[in-house]
Structure 1
Amino acid sequence: MKRFTQRTLISTAIALATFQAHGAGFQISEHSASGLGRAFAGEAAIADNAAVAARNPAAMTMFDSAQVSGGLSFIQPDVDATLKSSNLGGAETYSDVAPDALVPYAHYVRPLNDRMALGVSAFSNFGLATEYPSDASAGPAAGKSELATVDFNVNFAYEVNEQLSLGLGLNAVYADASLVRNAGNLSPFIPGTTATTEIAHLEGDGWGYGWNVGALWQFDENNRLGVGYRSQVDITLDGDYRGTSNTTSLVSGQTVPGEVELNLPDIFEFSGYHKVAPKWAVSYSVMRIGWRSFEELKATGSSCTSSDGVGVCFLNEENWEDSWRYSIGATYFLNPTWTLRAGFAYDESPVPEEYRTLSIPDTDRNWYTIGATYTASEAFTIDAGFAYLNGDTVEGTESKSVATYNFEAGGDAYIFALGANYSF
């Protein structure tokens, strides 16, 4: 039971039950309101505002003047999960297990001369939040979880010639994670507990560092291609853990220090933009997310002892696979004041079916998006975007120690984004 308690906990802390609310796994794509309107198609090539620095730093050479872009995305998931049966009893349904979330972003691009540009950005590439009832029968596998990351990115771009621009950047990523797990239908096996008793409570944070590069090829003013690559970032989350059963060498309920290694995947994107008529443009993107790096979640601490070895608090195999995202968008230049957008994206899940769990009921999903930009003046524009994310209901079986859970999960999500851009 001790080993079960430890190994189940953190694996769900960074897992995603809000699988419809973001990109594959626990990726976040909300870097701009304009991009949301076209399903983020063509993001590495369009450069219609300073947010392009987050996807392709080379495209910063397209700016003739400095620009600041900022905004906020409101994510409203509608995700339900059902514990269909358990060998310990307790079939039940959990409604709205994913709370609403706000995701801000800010970008600044400044040309240094005719060939060089500098940019800074603050945004998030990964995050999650889940909240199951404290008295849930599946409490050991589904409780409260939160992961938040902030990427601080500095970029430089250089125009090699009229067709080719190159860019590179450095990233400092801050991550903060917390979770609570309850005894649920395991309480009869853990002395002195009820279903709502916290059997684990974890909080931790840390920093990781990475880099990014990009290239932009302009055939002419109406046609261009872009590529961007963002490196894997490894973060050590340092924090505290307490629970009813920590390790064989600890007193029940004691708080002990520990750390978790989190490997955020690399991202590669290829994009195109083509203005096919005076009022129409099409864009597209193909993105690969390197989730193969997410092989395991391992927590260590000097006070821990388990069957996995001295100093290992838990070890949970994930075995995710690389995933792909495909998107296509259209832009209509209605008049000098209004620009309209629409898009569609298909997002693959990185979680193999045999590794799907109640805390990671991830599945493929479809994005349907619309958006608009209002040009208030030559210097000031306002962007708005809306997305509807739809995914299938999936089933799975999860076995942990003496407990077996048969479940299904599914739902939709809605994303609303509002942003503004100012050139000076």
Structure 2
Amino acid sequence: MTTFSTRSCILFKASVVALAVASASSAYSAGFALNDHSTTASGSAIAGAAASGEDISFSYWNPALFLNAKKNTFYVSGAYVMPKMDVTNISAKNAIAFGGSPISGSTTNSDSVDNAFIPAFYYAMPLSDDTVGGISLNAPFGLSGDYGNSWPGRFHATETSLKDVALAFSVAHRVNDWFSAGASVQVHRAHVVLASAVGAATPNPGTEGLGKIKAAATGYGFSLGVLMEPIKGTRIGIGYRSKVKFDFKGDVKYDNVAGVNQALAQKGYQLVNTSAEDNLKFPDVLTISLDQALTNKLRLGLSAIHTGWSSISDGLNIKFGSKQPNSVLTFGFDDEWMYSAGLTYDYSEAWTLRTGIAMDNSPVTDKYRSARTPDGDRKWYSLGATYHIDDSSSASFAYTYVSIEDVSVNRDGSLPEDASRGTYKADYASSANVVSLAYTKSF
């Protein structure tokens, strides 16, 4: 009977974890980070992102790049992410305590990820010839998806949603002709909705229910950046975004758990609607970039981006407002790098063309890959263009195809955290198409 409670705790632990592991629709970038904060940058696969002199949207990776504004300037960007995830060869069994019997449901699932819109906004205001103030609004982390309530892996995950919005206030200063620096402070607000089945999949009525958690948190971060131009045409940028700690607080609500609670009666606690809380420390990001002029019209961009995923490697420990035991879930994430290279070509006074490729390594390890973390390494293939409407305004477009490594999940019950969830196996084939549009205006 203890397995009912343990299962529910673990499931809600796993649900909160789903904020951070993008099992649903973060097909665009490894882990749970969202990388489309600039249509301009996306056109070249974020190559040269911390060193570019094109516009103020690159300030996301390096706040010193607000100095790209010579006048009051705003930049608005939006990316529409269209992910695809085919889950095949699905099989799941109840925990041994429930007899280890197979869980019914389809062996395939191709409708578990949702399209998503990622907005970004920047405003720059020169304070002097060498100093610029800036404000930006971004969605650094996010995911959305729903496996459904009847698939075999429903005790591992059903619905998952995360929205994180960050408001940043920045200042950038040109120290001399070859060195500039910038900094920002950020306020993040994150909302979570997640659900999973609780109980056991057996023929006996009332032994399976559904639980859902909604939570929110505010976190704070900062960023620092420097830009160096040792010789004309060679720009080197380094930007750092700090870790952000979220103390999530919310509530848990259950449906159809009368039979589950009968099994728990002798244990002195029930699955009841109550509070739930835990914390996540979203990772820091270090970006090192080169923007090199090859000719008067052609530039090469290179970026290496390190994400400190190990900040959430130990996992979570959810505390409930009832007598339910705390729940522990391990991530086992590794720190990883993303590498990109791209070209920018000034085709004419009106048109600038871009292309780029990138390799984005997943932080998920084979041992801990699960229904909530079916993550694989990604390759980006990007192209884009900017049309300069006049001297003070332009419109940009970018398209990225993301190819994701095929992976298999094999939760065979050997991990202690799966003792009451049962086993789960499946193969995942994923990809994504991303279309981005932007408009910028100076005045």
Please indicate the TM-score interval, normalised by the length of the shorter structure: over 0.9
Amino acid at match of 1:238: K
Q: Does 1:188 align with 2:202?
A: yes
**Partner Cα separation in structure 2 for residue 235 and residue 190 of structure 1:** 40
Counterpart contact for 2:384–2:397, Cα < 8 Å: yes
Partner residue of 2:96? Answer: none
- Deviation, 1:133, is 2.1
Partner residue of 2:29? Answer: 23
Residue of 291, 295, 310 corresponding to 1:277: 295
Amino acid at match of 1:328: A
Distance change (3 Å), C-alpha of 1:190 and 1:350: farther
**Partner Cα separation in structure 2 for residue 83 and residue 135 of structure 1:** 16
**Partner Cα separation in structure 1 for residue 402 and residue 345 of structure 2:** 23
Distance change (3 Å), C-alpha of 1:124 and 1:190: farther
- Give matches, 1:168-317, under 5 Å: 168-183=183-198, 186-188=200-202, 192-193=206-207, 197-198=209-210, 200-243=211-254, 244=257, 249-252=268-271, 254-294=272-312, 295-306=314-325, 312=326, 314-317=327-330
Count residues in correspondence.
413
- Deviation, 1:249, is 5.0
Counterpart contact for 2:378–2:404, Cα < 8 Å: yes
**Partner Cα separation in structure 2 for residue 93 and residue 183 of structure 1:** 22
**Partner Cα separation in structure 2 for residue 206 and residue 20 of structure 1:** 20
Report the secondary structure of 2:390's partner residue.
coil
Partner residue of 2:98? Answer: none
- Deviation, 1:393, is 1.4
Amino acid at match of 1:171: Q
Partner residue of 1:354? Answer: 367
- Deviation, 1:72, is 0.9
**Partner Cα separation in structure 2 for residue 272 and residue 8 of structure 1:** 44
Distance change (3 Å), C-alpha of 1:147 and 1:189: farther
Counterpart contact for 1:21–1:414, Cα < 8 Å: no
**Partner Cα separation in structure 2 for residue 129 and residue 304 of structure 1:** 30
Partner residue of 1:327? Answer: 340
Counterpart contact for 2:355–2:383, Cα < 8 Å: yes
Counterpart contact for 1:38–1:369, Cα < 8 Å: yes
Partner residue of 2:406? Answer: 393
Counterpart contact for 1:159–1:165, Cα < 8 Å: yes
Residue of 357, 370, 380 corresponding to 1:367: 380
Distance change (3 Å), C-alpha of 1:381 and 1:17: same
**Partner Cα separation in structure 2 for residue 4 and residue 47 of structure 1:** 52
Q: Does 1:32 align with 2:51?
A: no
Partner residue of 1:10? Answer: 13
Q: Does 1:410 align with 2:429?
A: yes
Report the secondary structure of 1:52's partner residue.
helix
Q: Does 1:163 align with 2:145?
A: no
**Partner Cα separation in structure 2 for residue 293 and residue 352 of structure 1:** 15
Q: Does 1:114 align with 2:129?
A: yes
Counterpart contact for 1:20–1:413, Cα < 8 Å: no
**Partner Cα separation in structure 1 for residue 203 and residue 56 of structure 2:** 56
Partner residue of 1:134? Answer: 149
Counterpart contact for 1:356–1:396, Cα < 8 Å: yes
**Partner Cα separation in structure 1 for residue 188 and residue 137 of structure 2:** 10
With 215-224 and 320-329 compared, the bigger mean Cα shift is at 215-224
* CA deviation profile, 1:225-280 (whole Å, cap 9, x unmatched): 0000011000011110123369855433x210121201100000001101111221
* CA deviation profile, 1:31-87 (whole Å, cap 9, x unmatched): 011111100111111031221221111122232212100021000001111253333
Counterpart contact for 1:19–1:26, Cα < 8 Å: no
Counterpart contact for 2:54–2:68, Cα < 8 Å: no
- Deviation, 1:407, is 1.2
Distance change (3 Å), C-alpha of 1:145 and 1:389: same
Partner residue of 1:57? Answer: 63
- Deviation, 1:134, is 1.8
* CA deviation profile, 1:154-193 (whole Å, cap 9, x unmatched): 1111111111111111011111011121359x32288614
- Deviation, 1:367, is 0.3
**Partner Cα separation in structure 2 for residue 249 and residue 108 of structure 1:** 56
TM-score norm. by structure 2 comes to 0.89
Partner residue of 2:51? Answer: 45
Aligned CA RMSD, in angstroms, stands at 1.9
With 119-128 and 9-18 compared, the bigger mean Cα shift is at 9-18
**Partner Cα separation in structure 2 for residue 10 and residue 129 of structure 1:** 17
Where structure 1 has 5 or more consecutive residues not aligned to the other structure, the ranges are 307-311
Distance change (3 Å), C-alpha of 1:228 and 1:249: farther
Report the secondary structure of 1:53's partner residue.
helix
Distance change (3 Å), C-alpha of 1:19 and 1:360: farther
**Partner Cα separation in structure 2 for residue 4 and residue 20 of structure 1:** 26
**Partner Cα separation in structure 1 for residue 365 and residue 119 of structure 2:** 31
